[in-house]
Structure 1
């Protein structure tokens, strides 16, 4: 996937969003092509002749529109970025280049509430829980009782990359995001 996400002056590598937690870096070619489209558009402001500047903007805007229509460039607003950060909750991600300079990091949740869509038993009293949003969490410790579909789950970020899961009124156990 060679799409680039653009939001409020920030470039985002779309391929990385599609493959969490295995994050791919944008290729130099993709970055250069997209930077070229954006650079061409922003470079128009340097022209002093009104007619030349307008022609430059028209040509650059047409290229940007074509790149957007073909899927090579995606435009996201801050709410889309926040939703992406929320959907990645529980994954240990490296510093992603497309979040550089983005102030939505302060909106990355420390806690999250979810509802169980399906339950799969694992050995030794552990469970894999699929949430309504599609996220799958595995209990790293045995749960005192079998969790039920529709039960509320509270997920909380702990120290040193740990996460804790509380199913209903059960005690909190360590958990890992599977997908």
Structure 2
């Protein structure tokens, strides 16, 4: 039975909420108008006018956030979302930044195995502490056990390699939860 993780479910809701015309709008372009209005207030020299401008702009920004027309997040939340989505094939969108200079790109994860089951082809499927499932696709027998540490890293040609308790790595693929 398919059970989405909270991170995956949140991402799906966020992507579904994006307007259709946003697919052509680059995320590294100008900021939303409601945010730009706050920034524009600092150019006012009269303190009373600047304060009135800030009050009006911040109220509009808060209303947009409450109506879910504006999403506010921080880098730590983006990193955690990327970590939760590590290994999944997603459409190429710049929802979490990205591009050539993506300092927050997740290249490996470390976790513990919480459960193991054998697939019909005899290879193990590891369930990690966060609920992510990874299936071994080739290599030697790993004889994994629940509670063991696992390190999964990106490898060549879009593949992934898992090392269990420091053993030599085996190829794995992320499975949809």
TM-score (norm. length: structure 1): 0.71
Equivalent residue for 1:83?
80
1:134 aligns with 2:127: no
Conserved 8 A contact 2:98-2:105: no
1:18 aligns with 2:38: no
Mean alpha-carbon deviation: is it higher for 139-148 or for 97-106? 97-106
**In structure 2, C-alpha distance between the alignment counterparts of 1:63 and 1:159, rounded to whole Å:** 47
CA-atom RMSD, angstroms? 3.5
Q: 1:100 to 1:142 in 2, by over 3 A?
A: closer
Q: How many residues align?
A: 162
TM-score (norm. length: structure 2): 0.71
Equivalent residue for 2:3?
none
**In structure 2, C-alpha distance between the alignment counterparts of 1:48 and 1:134, rounded to whole Å:** 54
Pairwise CA distance, 1:48: 4.4
Indicate which of 162, 167, 176 corresponds to 2:164.
167
Superposed CA deviations along residues 85-137 of structure 1, whole A, max 9, x for unmatched, are 22222234454323347898223232221111111210222122110012111
Q: 1:124 to 1:142 in 2, by over 3 A?
A: farther
Give secondary structure in 1 for the equivalent of 2:34.
helix
Superposed CA deviations along residues 13-39 of structure 1, whole A, max 9, x for unmatched, are x9996139xx6693237x8xx823112
Give the gaps of 5 or more residues in structure 2: 1-6, 26-30
1:51 aligns with 2:48: yes
1:60 aligns with 2:57: yes
**In structure 1, C-alpha distance between the alignment counterparts of 2:8 and 2:47, rounded to whole Å:** 39
Q: 1:15 to 1:151 in 2, by over 3 A?
A: closer
